[in-house]
Structure 1
Amino acid sequence: MEDSGILENLLVQGRRDRDFSAKDALQPVLKLLLGLEGEELRTLVIKEAVRVTEAVILGSVIDAYNSIPDLLRTFVLNGNVSGPSLMGDAERQSMMELRDQVYRIWGLLQSSENFDPTILRSILQVLQEPEARSVGGRVFGGISQRLAARLLQQVLRPPTAP
């Protein structure tokens, strides 16, 4: 989460700097990431992408569960009224904080004066390259493994007594 805090701070500072251009910064970063010597960076990016995506997905699941009326909660998740035990309280709080930080970062990007949504097209073009497809596959595989493991934990967990 520290790295996300650094990114958030850089974006806040970048909003204040008229010379800052996300479009100009994006291309060199993508070239570095997908270049021949970028494997170490790719590994870190993949790990963080999996963690952030998991936080967004599970944060949404937690929010959806919390929006269910108490009476209906007894019918959800094997009658466990205390909620899904996908993770402990500290991990849940950390995950929700990460998700909120990702949403703040996206809000900062969108509200930046010189944010141009068309720069996302350049990302899509880069994603067509073979190395980017490999990175995408590794991210998807990591997310799938983590979510499958959490689902198995939930399904195999013995029901708690009311």
Structure 2
Amino acid sequence: MTKFLSLATAVLALARESNALVRPDNVGKLPALGWNSWNAFGCDIDAAKIMTAANEVVNLGLKDLGYEYINIDDCWSVKSGRDASTQRIIPDPTKFPDGVSGLADQIHDLGLKVGIYSSAGLTTCAGYPASLGYEDIDAQTFAEWGID
């Protein structure tokens, strides 16, 4: 019985402590919830597939349950490198004819947020340009595209 009371006390203390991390506007009440393109499509992604998934998050009621992120995983850029003059990563125009910003606008119109994958190395796991040495440029670029 003593072990049970000790466990119960610890659980209650943790529960009280975790509520202290929730802001008055409920930020922190749930973990970040969303959908990521990798498990469904791997590198076989494009704007249409991602918009279909975003629409399903809304249609299935997941948005109402707290899902808010649509994450574009690896393979969204051209594999050949960065723009020579700006050093920015170039979205694949075949996969994203309206650019990443056009897709982000459509996702935002659904009331959802957009995330995008990069890597801390020279290349991503699939061999696409990554952010090592370009962190500031990439952060600025992603923000300009409407990535949340």
- TM-score, normalisation: structure 1: 0.26
Structure with the bigger percentage of helix: 1
Structure ranking higher on relative contact order (CA contacts 8 Å, 6+ apart): 1
- TM-score, normalisation: structure 2: 0.28
